[in-house]
Amino acid sequence: MKNRLKIIFFAPHTAIWVHAFPEALVAEALQQEGHEITYITCGEVFNSYCVCMNAFGLSQESSTIDKKNICITCNTNKKVIRQNFKLEGYDLIDKLTLDDVSLIESTISKVTKENFLDLSIENIQIGRFALYEFLLKYKKSNLDFSDKEWSSYLTALKNTLSSFIACCRILEQEKPDRVITYNSLYSVNRVFVELAKRQDISTYFLHAGANLSDRLETMWIGKNSIEFQQELLNCWTLHQNKACSQKLIKKVTDHFLSLFNGQHFLVYSSPRKDKPIDIRLHFGIQENQKILVATMSSYDEIFAAETVGVISKEYDLIFPKQIDWIKSLVDFAESRPDLFLIVRVHPREFPNRRDSVKSVHASAIQDLLQNLPKNVKANYPSDNISLYDLAEHTDLFLNAWSSAGEEMSFLGIPVVIYSRELVLYPPDLHYVATSKNDFFSKIDEALADGWNFERMRQGYRWHVLKLERCAFNISESFTSEESSIQIRNKHISPLSIVKKFYTKARAKLSLAYKLKRNYNQRTNECQNRASFLKSRDQINSLITESKNTILDLPQTDREVISAEQEAIYIKKELMRLIEVLYRHYPPLVKPNTLREKLLKLINE
């Protein structure tokens, strides 16, 4: 075969079926193209604590039995995949010796809270890489660790060291042409990726797509997760003037309907209540006051990415810290009685449906938001106010780097930002300030311009690129509804189902029976998959030609749409949005609301 490659799929987290099964589909697609696939799994190397255990709701302190059950699930899924996809390979544990175990223990014994960042082997920063999931789990924005946190970090470090040693041997033995893994930022995955890069081996990450309505039915595949985002931004200049088809616009609407529902485990905002909330009444806002909402961002995600070295720490920000920004905004609002400022603290900073941790930064924000001027109010997650309740009455959003910014632009609402370098979407969707004085000038400029349909059109086009054009579709083989299998959702989830699976309350069924049932369910999914993916040729081209993303390949969407026709499609989709956004609203439409603007647009 021409361009026959040797490809390693590094898959140590097979317990998470919604990751493992799509990953296996991609491996099979490449195997069908004649490539040699080596499928490498864990083999209980990470049995002290791992990504899978965290995903299933376990903590570092969970019982050995509960952790063992996750390992059993991992092994079961691995067996199903190997048998049904005919993927040859082995476990990480097969590449570790007793001497390696002793070396790992000896290395960890010398690590302290003062020197852990210095731990580097062959120029791979093991000490830093091991921090990634740990910092996110504990919502850390500094490197001061409690004893409990330190113990958790040492477990992550042990896993990372184990992966490093095993992966060194694997690369030496296999000499692959490509390395592919699901989420290359996971610490144990990243060491393999970095080792491969040092040998000029092209590496790829896999990840579920971003459209919440069918997230698991699509796949992002790219060379680097951070570069993937940059690739989208680079391509924006080519797509921002490209009108979109009705089918693509409808898919974007589907995504936003899932957002508005507020039940998805990836959505932090509270869902809208059955009874509408009038935020003017709730916060005591006068009718003649323009409403500004400042949407804050959580620091732990960006801090984790900076600390492990996947993004730069060098930013030229107008406001060095969000606290500086909020202080300036409060002072500005106090001098402008014609305005009312709502400071919306990011829900991730506080305990939420995904975790029970409160960040250190949250406490600092609470201290700041005391004794505020009468035209400034704080909005905390405990208020149970949806972002879209705020959007209904807000004249202008002020954003740090939260995704709320792109969502508000999508609704046509103006947004001012000060952080061009930090937003993961095109900053030109907003008013971008270049200095402190310019920031406050932009506020008045944006208020004067007001709501705009063209902003909504650009929001649709950006989301078409982000949600649809950059992803491979695998729906012919994987059509699971995430609402019934999502990870760490306290409302509905397989994780809660699987978690309960092992509780004493369900001890009436033997563990062997449960495992057999799980095995049969996974086997059925495998056997019901399509004989091949429709996107197989594109996936093969991406990997064999060492392209960065699907956007580097010839585009299959050749339909030419006029801007006028696109506007008609968008207006039709707005009817679907309105139906969901305002299903509990009374017939009377209040003036100067988002609802009024949307209805006027449709009736033009």
Q: Domains in the chain and their CATH numbers?
A: 6-102+175-208+479-528 (3.40.50.720), 237-469+562-603 (3.40.50.12580)
Distance of CA 432 to the CA centre of its chain: 24
Task: Evaluate if residue 408 carries a pLDDT over 90.
Answer: yes
CA atoms within 13 A on the CB side of 517: 8
Q: Which residues of 464-490 are buried (b: 16+ CB within 10 A; e: fewer)?
A: bbbbbbbbbbbeebbebebbebbbbbe
Q: Calculate mean pLDDT across residues 306-322.
A: 86
Q: What is the dihedral of CA 245, 247, 253, 259, to 10 degrees?
A: -120
User: Which residue, among 378, 404, 175, 168, has the nearest Cα to 283 in the 3D structure?
Assistant: 378
State the pLDDT at residue 47: 97
Has residue 493 got a pLDDT over 70? no
- Give me the helix-helix angle, 246-261 and 453-463, nearest 10°: 100
Task: Answer for the pair 342, 372: CB distance below 8 angstroms, yes or no.
Answer: no
Neighbours of 41 (CB within 10 A): 27
pLDDT in the model for residue 271:
62
Is residue 40 predicted with pLDDT exceeding 70?
yes
496, two tokens: 């809660």
* Closest to 502 in 3D by CA, of 53, 41, 61: 53
446 pLDDT more than 70: yes
For residue 489, the model assigns a pLDDT of 34
The better pLDDT of the pair 300, 78 is held by 78
**Residue 604, burial from CB neighbour count under 10 angstroms (0-12, 13-18, 19+):** exposed
Question: 559 near 245, Cβ under 8 Å?
Answer: yes
State how far the Cα of 504 lies from the Cα of 317, in Å rounded to an integer.
53
Q: Please give the share of the chain, as a percent, with pLDDT higher than 90.
A: 77
Q: Using an 8 Å Cβ cutoff, are 20 and 13 in contact? A: yes
Cβ–Cβ < 8 Å for 170, 95: yes
In this structure, the number of other CB atoms found within 10 A of the CB of residue 534 comes to 14
Give the CA radius of gyration of the chain: 25
Name the 3-class secondary structure at 7: strand
- What is the token pair recorded at 174? 């296999």
Q: Look at the block and give the residue holding tokens 């504990």.
A: 138
- Where do we find the tokens 């594109």? 538
Q: How confident is the model at residue 488 (pLDDT cuts 50, 70, 90)?
A: very low
* CB neighbours of residue 202 within 10 Å: 20
User: Is the pLDDT at 510 greater than 70, yes or no?
Assistant: no
- Backbone φ and ψ of 291, nearest 5°: -100, 125
- The pLDDT value recorded for residue 442 is 98
Q: Is the pLDDT of residue 576 over 70?
A: yes
Taking the CA atoms of residue 546, residue 549, residue 555 and residue 557 in that order, the dihedral angle to the nearest 10 degrees is 150
Report, in this order, helix, strand and coil percent for the chain, each rounded to 5.
50, 10, 40
**What's the CA gap between 594 and 578, in Å, rounded?**
10
The answer to whether the CB of 374 falls within 8 A of the CB of 333 is no
Q: Which residues pair with 461 in a beta bridge?
A: none
Measure the CA–CA gap between 91 and 206, rounded to whole angstroms.
20
Task: List beta partners, residue 520.
Answer: none
Q: How far, in Å, CA of 354 to CA of 57, rounded?
A: 9
Q: Who contacts 368 (Cβ-Cβ below 8 Å, separation ≥6)?
A: 323, 326, 327
pLDDT at 272: 66
In the predicted model, what is the mean pLDDT of the chain?
90
Q: How many residues belong to the chain?
A: 604
Confidence (pLDDT) at 568: 97
Q: Given the structure tokens 């969970």, which residue do they identify?
A: 62
Q: Which of 594, 213, 268, 227 is nearest to 403 (CA)?
A: 268
Residue 503, pLDDT score: 44
pLDDT confidence tier of residue 534, bands split at 50, 70 and 90: very high
pTM score over 0.95: no
* The two structure tokens encoding residue 479: 């059509």
pLDDT at 267 over 60: no
Q: Per-residue pLDDT tens for 109-136?
A: 999 999 999 999 999 999 999 999 999 9
- Give the Cα separation of 424 and 405 in Å (integer): 10
Cβ atoms 340, 372 nearer than 8 A? no
**Cβ-Cβ contacts under 8 Å for 102 (sequence gap 6 or more):** none
Look at residue 353 in the predicted model and tell me its pLDDT: 57
